[in-house]
Structure 1
Amino acid sequence: MSLPALGTDTALIVLDVQKAIDDPRWNSKNNPGYADVIAKLLAAFRAAKLPIIHIRHEEANPASSFYVNGPGQPFKDEAQPIDGETVIAKQQNCAFVGTALEAHLREGRINRLIFTGVVIHNSMDITIRMAHCLGLENWLPLDATTAIDVTDANGKRFNAQTVFDLYAAVLASEYCRLTQSEDVLSALPSSESGAM
């Protein structure tokens, strides 16, 4: 889907792209190249001087790969923040719960979000739904996120692509618009003209 021209009312959200996601328990990803796509989007948003918000998950449970004092806590190399970019820490799956994210968006007059990160069936899903409830316009480039296999309480396993496709369909039914990273890049202002 084609995006409108993107300006300073648009922010790139980079959600939970931390070393934790490289733990073996996350190995069944359907879209293993998602982090390289995020790196391209980061470079383009930086060149256009548009807002970037990094969300870092700080999990209290030591068994989690995202444990706040564990080796998975740092951002992945492809998604390292640079000086001047906003970093918001969260302790819940939803990036709006117990954080300053909404206040930051309102203060910056940001009403359109481009969501990237992990995983579509967990923190991405609940954060996008909450953003919709707050009246924000949400876009999800499908090549900039991923899913993993999910096993239900009865032991039935759903492969990552099935999980991904289902969650993308549900999110697109009401909560966001689906797109691809190339469409996002095409909607950015050129580096010659700067941000709109």
Structure 2
Amino acid sequence: MNLDDNAALIVIDVQQGFGDAVWGARNNPRAEENIERLLTAWTAAARPIVLVRHDSVSPGSPLGAGTAGNALQPFVAAVPHELLVTKDVNSAFYGDPDLAAWLGERGIRQIVVVGIQTNMCVETTARMGGNLGFDVIVPIDATHTFDLEGPAGIVLRADDLARATAVNLHGGGFARVVETDELVG
């Protein structure tokens, strides 16, 4: 796949707290491996890397600001990056500093969005990126999510949620959904 020379890799919420049992069953055990492959490729190509951290304001959250779970996973924290965005909502475009402004100031029009959770912060950031006119690419195998309970006790499995996200993003025209191998060979 042809990528812009300045395509930004946006790494969403790859934090220690997502290892907490409170989240339940997850999918895609290779997500972190694929994220690391992308980080390695972006570093080697000197493309911009943006890290995003969720600073939860919910009492008792494993992602609460100042808690051990709030920290980025070591393989992410160790990577040289151009920007760290902190947020307390789903979209990295509502974080601090202003991601859209930062990308615009650098003439970046193409973003690759990876991380946790597929159907939450990754999907929301990708949708907003598409709405803002960015060329968004989501390597779905560089994301993961957890089983989720909805109204009336309906539970959707993590794999089903990830497939729905892929269809929403790709079919809805928000992003191109690909596999990591298509980006790093």
| Pair in the same fold by TM > 0.5 | yes
Q: Unpaired runs of 5+ in structure 2?
A: none
* 1:104 aligned residue: 102
Q: How does 1:1-196 map to 2 (within 5 A)?
A: 3-8=1-6, 10-99=7-96, 100-173=98-171, 174-186=173-185
Structure 1 stretches of 4+ with a deviation exceeding 4 A read none
Measured after TM superposition, the shift of residue 78 of structure 1 is: 2.3
Decide which structure has the larger Cα Rg and report it.
1
Distance 1:19 1:123 in 2: 16
* Distance change >3 Å, CA 106–CA 182, structure 1 → 2: same
1:62 Cα deviation after fit: 2.4
2: CA distance between counterparts of 1:116 and 1:12? Answer: 8
Q: 1:54·1:81 contact (CA, 8 Å) conserved in 2?
A: no
**1:22: Cα distance to partner?**
0.6
More helix, by proportion? 2
Letter in 2 for 1:165: R
Listed one character per residue, the Cα deviations across residues 160-184 of structure 1 (whole Å, up to 9, x for unaligned) are 1111111111111121001111111
The alignment's TM-score, normalised by the length of structure 2, stands at 0.93
The count of aligned residue pairs is 183
Is there any run of 5+ residues in structure 1 with no aligned partner, and where?
A: 187-196
Bigger relative contact order, structure 1 or 2, given CA contacts below 8 A and separation 6+? 1
Q: Deviations over 1:64-90 (max 9, x none)?
A: 211112221110022124345311111
